[in-house]
Amino acid sequence: MSKILIADDASFMRLMICQILGRKGLTDIVEAENGRQAVERFKFEKPDLTFMDITMPELDGFAALAEILALDPSATVIMCSAVAHENMVQDALKRGAVDFVVKPFRPEEFLRVVSKYLV
């Protein structure tokens, strides 16, 4: 079973993602409410897939992405944000994210992205 880390400072967003994933049988989920916690959880949980919000307290998503990739250059991290200028999406991909999901998203769109990275 795949382990997924969801890093978002909005508890309702973490809950919504957990529910969407749960409907597809993906229930091994670890949550983080800020970037610092995301890095720590990544170290110990070693998730197969990480969803990372960009705007978070303590450590933003880009800084957390950099720390996670320093720990594991092959980490699969998908950035999620409501602020999705074309420059931001391109920047996230240049920094090592494998994909970018724009909030708000429809569950089927979200699951389509997930299915690209979980075998």
Instruction: Please report, for the chain, the start and end positions of each structural domain, with discontinuous segments joined by +.
Output: 4-117
Contact 107, 20 (CB under 8 A): yes
Regarding the domain delimited by 4-117, which CATH topology (the fold level of the hierarchy) does it fall under? Rossmann fold (3.40.50)
Contact 65, 39 (CB under 8 A): no
- Please tell me the distance from the alpha carbon of residue 67 to that of residue 82, in angstroms, as a whole number: 22
pLDDT tier for residue 119 given thresholds of 50, 70 and 90: low
Model pLDDT for residues 61-100, shown as the tens digit of each residue: 999 999 999 999 999 999 998 876 778 889 999 999 999 9
Predicted pLDDT of residue 1: 77
Strand segments (E) across the chain: 4-7, 29-32, 49-53, 77-81, 99-102
